[in-house]
Amino acid sequence: MDTATPAVTVALHDGDRVVAETGQVDARRHGELLLPAVDRVLAEAGVKLDAVTDVVVGVGPGPYTGLRVGLVTAATFGSVLAVPVHGVCTLDGLAHAAGVEGPFAVATDARRKEVYWARYEDGRTRTGEPAVDRPADIAERLAGLPVVGAGALLYREAFPDARGPEHVSAGALASVAAERLAAGRELLPPQPLYLRRPDAQVPKNYKVVTPQ
Amino acid sequence: MADEPLVLGIETSCDETGVGIVRGTTLLADAVASSVDTHARFGGVVPEIASRAHLEAMVPTIERALKEAGISARDLDGIAVTAGPGLAGALLVGVSAAKAYAYALDKPLYGVNHLASHICVDQLEHGPLPEPTMALLVSGGHSSLLLAPDITADVRPLGATIDDAAGEAFDKIARVLDLGFPGGPVIDRLAREGDPAAIAFPRGLTGPRDAPYDFSFSGLKTSVARWIEAKRAAGEDVPVRDVAASFQEAVVDVLTRKAVRACKDEGVDHLMIGGGVAANSRLRALAEERCERAGIRLRVPRPGLCTDNGAMVAALGAEMVARNRPASDLELSADSSLPVTETHVPGAHSHDHVHEVSKENLYS
Ligand SMILES: [Zn+2]
């Protein structure tokens, strides 16, 4: 599952292929949409949750409060089912699904006029840590490269060779994880990649509750 | 089972990650992880810091509570969670965890109201709540007078603060006096050595034409700050203990006076006081004195149950199960401004279903 972008996406993977997948794009309703999506995917595959042997979650980077929805849901499943929870960089899922040959980059919308991005050698090989920057500040470095994802499509003036897919799919994310697990490679811990410090501002009148 | 349901409750509306487990009105576990120290240097709760801390603490706190209670999660009769009100991002972590937990265990989920939970927690201390109960809830986030004929279904707001919450006033005065955050405990401690009658600070909204059950602490806060600044400007020492005692007296005087009046007006013979400020020793003492004089039975839970915790959510969840209230569904949202009248958030489907059926009956 992945909730790091406006897409809420869930898939079931049997080690060889994606068995079922569902998703919805709604940046404001991650909390409402995720569990029903899990339920739909399992129902479609005719499988109960306790048959799951590994949980894979997109760890971002992601700007949305929604990022935590996927992470806490995955961690809770892991605790109840007593199965491992693996993290995969959300950008890696997009790269995997991009189908681009040769070097390219992935960029998602970080809001505040910035993108989360990373460079890839190919669909399976990231060549650096994800970062957050203004499109104009990285346009030169990525000049001539295809750039995949909503962050590219949103800032076409900085990324002229912008391409889809726009959002990550859990199917791609699960495929990345299944490949890495099969190859005996380490996955990430299921911890969020925020890449930004929290806004350390105490809002005025925080949590004021005035019954009407 | 039905009258002693085993329920796990999750609370993440502010800066405490709380998980409690109760059996009926018996407390089995109360695990809390707090991010208060991280917020201290900002002088208040920073929402994003709180949300991040909730994510880290959530699952370990659930596991700790289960261990403490010595029960298996499979034996639970339900999972309850604070659906609101509170900080949106913070609530979302708890609601998401509760949903995943309920789904993975195939148990009913109950999204409940934070304020109703603050009242219901007293069942763990003093047994079933009398009906109706009058409740005074005072904390850094809320100051309300609530009449609760049925804690699972009928809570009526009589009054609330029109500006600052009582706990916020404590934090702000502590900041002016350089006493750190949170301000409540330190002011309480210093006030014990001060004279509550030393300075006559104003009592907000106590005039004959003012709303009888509403509160206002903003004017008091300004008045105390001015008094301190005037002393400093004159080059005099600020009598910190007297200021603390006089300020605290002004707050608790208004709170208890209005609460007792509400009990008398509504013919209610029980007063419950909850929320973090209920830990204040002077509030407890004055409430005791005034309730006794008015023939009202006072119920105040121990301080650990007054601040935000998971046990209070579990207590209300258990009551929901015991009274057969409809469960929430998997679409349950965190609602940062959930009105106090919505004691819980039943699933849309059970409700819709009733409408569909009645429509069929009408037109077929
Ligand atoms: Zn509270």
Chain-chain contact of A76 with B49 (C-beta, under 8 angstroms): no
Distance B118 CA to ligand 1 centre (A): 7
Residues of chain B contacting residue A201, judged by C-beta atoms under 8 Å apart: 42, 46
Q: Cα B164 to chain center, whole Å?
A: 15
Residues in contact with B33: Cβ distance below 8 Å, sequence separation at least 6, in sequence order: B16, B17, B53, B57, B60, B61
Distance B101 CA to ligand 1 centre (A): 23
Q: Give the span between the Cα atoms of B268 and A46, in whole angstroms.
A: 55
Instruction: Tell me which H or E stretch contains B321.
Output: helix B310-322
Inform me whether the pLDDT recorded for A206 exceeds 70.
no
Mean pLDDT of B182-207: 95
Position B31 confidence tier, pLDDT thresholds 50, 70, 90: very high
Which residue, among A111, A33, A34, has the nearest Cα to A70 in the 3D structure? A34
Q: Give the span between the Cα atoms of B85 and B336, in whole angstroms.
A: 4
Identity of the residue in B73, B160, B330 whose CB atom sits nearest the CB atom of A35? B330
Tell me the two tokens of residue A201: 């501002």
Chain-chain contact of A80 with B52 (C-beta, under 8 angstroms): no
Closest Cα in chain B, distance from residue A14 (Å)? 19
Q: Read off the pLDDT of residues B202-241 as tens digits, 9 standing for 90 and up.
A: 999 999 999 999 999 999 999 999 999 999 999 999 999 9
Chain-chain contact of B100 with A77 (C-beta, under 8 angstroms): yes
Contacts across the A-B interface (CB distance below 8 Å) = 140
Mean pLDDT of B82-110: 97
Give me the pLDDT at residue B86, please. 95
Q: Give the span between the Cα atoms of A9 and A67, in whole angstroms.
A: 12
Lowest average pLDDT, out of A66-80, A107-121, A162-176, B40-54, goes to B40-54
Burial of A95 (0-12, 13-18, 19+ CB in 10 A): buried
Percent share of chain B, pLDDT over 90: 89
Same fold, A7-90+167-182 and A98-163: yes
Inform me whether the pLDDT recorded for B40 exceeds 90.
no
A65 in contact with B at a CB cutoff of 8 Å?
Answer: yes
Which residue, among B177, B189, B17, B1, has the nearest Cα to B93 in the 3D structure? B17
Q: Cα B296 to chain center, whole Å?
A: 22
Contact between A70 and A42 (Cβ < 8 Å): no
Q: How many CB atoms lie within 10 A of CB B132?
A: 20
Q: Give the span between the Cα atoms of B335 and B339, in whole angstroms.
A: 9
Q: Read off the pLDDT of residues A131-159 as tens digits, 9 standing for 90 and up.
A: 999 999 999 999 999 999 999 999 999 99
The CATH-assigned architecture of domain A98-163 is 2-Layer Sandwich (3.30)
Inform me whether the pLDDT recorded for B151 exceeds 50.
yes
Residues of chain B contacting residue A31, judged by C-beta atoms under 8 Å apart: 92, 95-96, 333-334
The domain segmentation of chain A, as residue ranges, is: 7-90+167-182, 98-163
Contact between B86 and B118 (Cβ < 8 Å): no
Amino acid identity of residue A183, one-letter, is A
Inform me whether the pLDDT recorded for A102 exceeds 70.
yes
Closest Cα in chain B, distance from residue A211 (Å)? 6
ipTM score for this prediction: 0.94
pTM of the model: 0.92
Q: Give the span between the Cα atoms of A61 and A46, in whole angstroms.
A: 32
Distance A180 CA to ligand 1 centre (A): 45
List Cα–Cα distances, A25 to A19, A30, A37, A63, A160, in angstroms.
21, 9, 12, 15, 24
Chain-chain contact of A211 with B88 (C-beta, under 8 angstroms): no
The hierarchical CATH code for the domain A7-90+167-182 is 3.30.420.40
A52 in contact with B at a CB cutoff of 8 Å?
Answer: no
Beta bridge partners of B7: B22, B78
A125 in contact with B at a CB cutoff of 8 Å?
Answer: no
Residues in contact with A33: Cβ distance below 8 Å, sequence separation at least 6, in sequence order: A8, A24, A26, B331
Position B363 confidence tier, pLDDT thresholds 50, 70, 90: very low
List Cα–Cα distances, B143 to A160, B205, B220, B225, B359, in angstroms.
55, 14, 15, 21, 42
Residues of chain A contacting residue B160, judged by C-beta atoms under 8 Å apart: 209-211
Position B131 confidence tier, pLDDT thresholds 50, 70, 90: very high
Q: Give the span between the Cα atoms of B57 and B74, in whole angstroms.
A: 22
Percent share of chain A, pLDDT over 90: 89
